[in-house]
Structures are given as C-alpha cells and as structure tokens.
Structure 1
Amino acid sequence: MQTTASPALSSSARLPAGVLAALLCCYFVWGSTYFAIRVALQSFPPFFQMGTRFLLAGALLALWTAWRGRDRGRAGFPTALQWRNALVVGALMLGGGMGLIATASQGVGSGLIATCVASVPLMVTGWGLLWGRRPGRWELSGVCLGALGVVLLMRGESFSASPASMACVLVSTACWSLGSVLSTTRFPLAPGAAGFSSEMLCGGAVLMAVSLVLGERPAWPAGAAPVAAWLYLVVFGSLVAFSAYMYLLAHASPALASSYAFVNPAVALALGSVLAGEALSAREGWACAVILAAVGLILIGQGRRRRG
C-alpha cells in the first residue's frame, strides 16, 4: 500500500537486518490491519478504537523503555521539546491519519482504503515542495499521474456511494504524509522506542479527546471478534508495525520507508475479498492501478536522485 517492491526485496542482501525486518513487517502486518479495523468497528467507534489502541500500546512501550533505561542506568524519557514534537507528529499521523482511516472504514472497503493510502509517497513528494525539494522529471510525472488516479477514484462507485468516507481517506493520507515529513525534518522525536511511545501516547490522547467531543460510545459487551481485532491492532499494528515504520523513517530513505504502500493493497484486497466479500468496480480497479504506477514513478525518481 507490486512490481516495484521487488527491487527492495531483491536487494535485501545489502540491507541491514533491522531494516529488512522492519520492511517485511510494514509490508504484511499493515496490509492486514485495514481488515482488522473494520472488524473492530463492530463494537468500537473510530476515534475511541484508535485512541485506546495507541494509548495502551504507547503505555506498554513507555514502560518497557523506562525499565530498559533503568537497567542501563539512564532515564530513557523524551525531553520537553521532544514531547512537543511528539504531540505535533502524533496529532497528524495518528489523530488525523489513523482516526480518519477508521472513520472511512465505516463506508469504504478495506482494500480500496489501502490502495488510496498507497498515495503516501506522492503526498510526501508534494509536502517536500514546502521545504524547497523540487521534484525531478520522474517524480513530477508521478505526481501528475497520481492526480489522474485520484480523479478516477472520485468518479468511482465507492466515492458516489460514500463521498464523506473517500474524503476522509484523502485527508487522512495528507495528514499521515505531512507527519512523516515533519518527524524527519522540523519535529524530530526522541531516539528509538522513547520517541515511538511518546508519539503514540500523544496521538492517542488527541484521538480520545476527539472521541469525547463526538460523544462516541463503544458497544458493551463487546463481541469476541471485535476484541480480538482490537488486540491485534494494539500488538501487531501499533507495538510492532508502527514502531517498525518509525524505525524505517530514521534508518532508511523515505522512498524505501514508504515502499510498503505497494504491498499493503494486495494484502488488504486479498483479505477483504476472502473474508468480507469486498470487490472493486472496473473504474476503481483502473484508478488503483494508476495510483500504484504513479507511486512507482516517484520511487524511481527518488532512487535516481540518490544515485546521482
């Protein structure tokens, strides 16, 4: 969120083990979380679901960080400035990004959402313009082609049936991309797990504040399937995969870190089709293909820029 993912995998022998493990985690675990979000929505409303998910995951990770820091003779907690940065990045990536994804999941299939999120590299390129990063020829072609894909999606059946949900997906992607850019430029987080946990705690607090304002109420008693899906999101979607993504942002190029965008749709579409009977219309299928091709052009351009 397929062909362009292969270079990353074919060069896996040259990748550090930590980067390779983080890549595989983002590729496959995140592809399955879109379906898990839909299942959890049966009992947990969008912002409540995401807020409790990230607060618990962030608290567990913070406790582990504190224990490890004590064992090594240091506190291991972010500074006041790093907490501020965590609030900004967490509000964007988790508050806006994940909160709106869960909201959109009420009206749009998980496979289509994953494909829309595949435009993250395109959005990252666009936000980069604000910091003086002019796109090259390949990247500019990708941006134009991606815009065409978005237009095709907006004319598809899913957008007509639920324009609000599709708008949530697009705004969510913009927020997530901006947060990703800021976390590596203007608002760096604390190193390692301390930074990951602070972002999840701050983002979770923002999500719960929005949930409170919206008056969301979970269904009690919660069903077994929604609870299992929520626990899966806490452990694998947040503690494992989200931490892996933040690790990639700090230890790999933006293009490689965002290459998960190619694999996620395939995983999400497969799970949605097999487990929930989701399907794409012909127009939406073409739009998804156009968006993935656009992201491919951007990644090619970024690769050439690094080699140049």
Structure 2
Amino acid sequence: MSTALPLSHRALACAVAVIWGVNFLAIHLSLQQFPPLFLVALRFALLAVPTLVLVPRPRVPARWLVGYGLGFGVLQFSFLYSGMAAGMPAGLASLVLQASGPITLVLGAVLLREKVLPRQWTGVAVAGCGMAVVGVARAGGAELLPYLLVLLGALGWALGNLSSRLAAPPNPLHLTLWMSVVVPVPMLVLSLVVEGPDAILRSLATSLTTAAVPAWAGLAYTVVIGTVVGSGIWTWLLARHPAGVVGPFSMLVPVVGMLTAGVALGERPAPLELVGGFVVVAGVLLGAGRGRRVSVPPAAAPVEVPASCAEVAVDDLRRDLEGVEEPHDVVAEV
C-alpha cells in the first residue's frame, strides 16, 4: 500500500466526495414521489437483481453479510430517508450522517475491544460537541425529530461498519453489492406495515407521469452513480492506500451536500448549525488522523542450505560417532 496519494488519485477521491454529496439531492428528489421506506426497498431491489445475476457471492460468513445489510442498508437508510421525508434538509442530513465515524470508533472499542488512541477519543469528544450544537440549533419543535432520525441512521451505518469489518471480505465491493440482496424484503414488509399498501400504490400509480421524472432520475443516480460508481472508485482507492489517507476525503461529502442543496433547493443552514458542522468535521478529521509510524526492521530471510552440505555434515557425524554404542538414534534425530 502507498501512503502518498498521487494527484490523479486525489482527484478520484474528490470525485467520490462530489458524487456522494450530490446523492443527498438525488434522495430528496426521489422522496417527492415515493414513501421513504418503500423507496429504500425499491432502491436496493434495483441493485439486488443484477447483483444476483452478475456478481459472485463474497466469501464471508453469512451472519456478517446479513448484519452488514441490516445495519448499513435497513437501519441507516430507513432512518435517513424517514428523517429527510419528515423535514430534515438534504444538506444538513449529509452532515449529521458523518456522526457514523465517531460512533463506529466507540462501538468498535466497546463491542470488539479495539484499541483507541487518546487522539481518537479527543476527536470523538469534539465531534460529539459539534453534534450537540447542531441538535440545540434544531431543538425547536418539529425540527428535532428529523435530526434524531438521521442520527439513528448514522448509528445504523456504524453497526454495518462493524459487520463489514468482522466479515473481512477479500473483495469489499462484492460485499457492498451483495449487501443489497438483504435489504428489499424486510424493507418492503416494513413499508407495508408502517406506510400501508395505499401509499405505495398511489406512488406507483403516478410514477409514469412527467412529474415523476426527477424522482426516477434521482433514484437512477443513487443506484448507478452513488453506489456502483462511487463505491467502486472508493474501494479501488482503499485497496491501494491506507484508510487513514483516503478516509479524510469523505469529509468533503457534507461540504458538497450543503453547497448542492443551497444552490438547487435554496437551503440556508442557521449560523449555529454551520458552527456545529464545522466542529463535527474537525472532530472526525482529528480522530481519523494517523499516529506516529513505528519503523519495524524486516525479518531476515531464511538461509537455504544445499542438500550436499547437509549430506557432508551427516557423514562427518557418522565418523565421529564410530565406536559409540547405539549411534543410530542420534543420527536419525539429525
């Protein structure tokens, strides 16, 4: 792995941040047509069908594949889409979802007994303070519930991260794609129970009209560009560079998300929300920073002894042992 990012790889990392930042605008457009839980089922169904046909199943334990799908797919997007449908601005949602990083760190320490450096705990504390500031800014009436829903989405993402880590897939992109196979059925059942069949049928009945074109365009962007292209490039970068080098580029996602939502939707975050967002980004970057590298000398290569040398040594030993009682056991051990 290379610890230095070439300019072209930096450009790719920035491109992924732009793709994922615009993804929140695409979700907003799709939510104008479909109920949030049904939209999650539809999104992953469109991804699951070609995955089953074209992508080999990753060689990981089924429990971690299912756990990744339930955490990353079901929990994260159920709460994220529900929060945005309830009024969470797209740009601010892209920011609050970044809480998954610090939450993953805490859960990894508690559940997996992973070692956490003091600097990382400091980053968690700083990011937590930033989230609290954003929460205070949105504490007025109906604005708090959407914020809490998106925050629960970040928790779902963190749980999915733990399952992905335990799965240790040889090809992470295959795991990301196969995760989509887990999501559609439970999400469809959840949508039928919570949203009801009438809401689903109404959204489908008007889905072929001109007014529904932006929703389908947003859904296509989310599936093809956001998931396949974005995740594909990101996985390619992580295979060539340490996560601590590539990961900080994800902090550009909320920047792009908020700028895109501001231009396309006219969203204007409150000053306190911007302050909290800045603190969150600072905390995540602090926690993701790389510690001091310790140089470990390479192990010496084993010395191969020619067979002829070994035979000479055994012959010498035989001569030395002449006259010794029962020497064969000694030679046999050699």
TM-score category of the 2 structures, normalised to the smaller one: 0.7 to 0.9
Distance 2:104 2:292 in 1: 15
Between stretches 281-290 and 159-168, larger displacement belongs to 159-168
Q: Which amino acid aligns with 1:212?
A: L
User: Are 1:116 and 2:96 matched, yes or no?
Assistant: yes
Q: Matched residue of 1:95: which SS?
A: helix
User: How far apart are 1:306 and its partner, in Å?
Assistant: 5.3
Distance 1:280 1:173 in 2: 20
User: How far apart are 1:113 and its partner, in Å?
Assistant: 0.8
User: Are 1:59 and 2:40 matched, yes or no?
Assistant: no
User: Are 1:261 and 2:238 matched, yes or no?
Assistant: no
User: How far apart are 1:176 and its partner, in Å?
Assistant: 0.3
Question: Equivalent residue for 1:91?
Answer: 70
Question: Equivalent residue for 1:151?
Answer: 132
Q: Which runs of 5+ in 2 are unaligned?
A: 296-334
User: Are 1:174 and 2:164 matched, yes or no?
Assistant: no
Distance 1:213 1:305 in 2: 52
Change (3 A) 1:259 1:286: same
Match of 1:212 among 189, 192, 199: 192
Q: Which amino acid aligns with 1:92?
A: G
Between stretches 136-145 and 234-243, larger displacement belongs to 234-243
Question: Equivalent residue for 2:331?
Answer: none
Q: Matched residue of 1:134: which SS?
A: coil
Change (3 A) 1:108 1:159: farther
Distance 1:88 1:292 in 2: 28
Query: RMSD over aligned Cα, in angstroms?
Result: 2.6
Distance 1:277 1:227 in 2: 22
Superposition map of 1:20-99 within 5 A: 23-65=13-55, 76-78=56-58, 82-99=61-78
Does the CA-based 8 Å contact 1:121-1:255 persist in structure 2? no
Question: Equivalent residue for 2:281?
Answer: 292
Match of 1:100 among 79, 83, 88: 79
User: Are 1:275 and 2:264 matched, yes or no?
Assistant: yes
Change (3 A) 1:25 1:204: farther
Question: Equivalent residue for 1:68?
Answer: none
Q: Which runs of 5+ in 1 are unaligned?
A: 1-9, 66-75
Does the CA-based 8 Å contact 1:61-1:193 persist in structure 2? no
Q: Which amino acid aligns with 1:195?
A: L
Q: Which amino acid aligns with 1:13?
A: P
Does the CA-based 8 Å contact 2:248-2:285 persist in structure 1? no
Higher relative contact order (CA 8 A, sep 6+): 1
Structure with max Cα Rg:
2
Q: Percent identity?
A: 20
Between stretches 169-178 and 156-165, larger displacement belongs to 156-165
User: How far apart are 1:32 and its partner, in Å?
Assistant: 0.5
Taking structure 1 as the reference length, the TM-score comes to 0.81
Distance 1:288 1:172 in 2: 17
Question: Equivalent residue for 1:221?
Answer: 206
User: How far apart are 1:161 and its partner, in Å?
Assistant: 3.4
Question: Equivalent residue for 1:13?
Answer: 6
Distance 2:93 2:134 in 1: 11
Does the CA-based 8 Å contact 2:133-2:273 persist in structure 1? yes
Taking structure 2 as the reference length, the TM-score comes to 0.76
Change (3 A) 1:134 1:195: closer
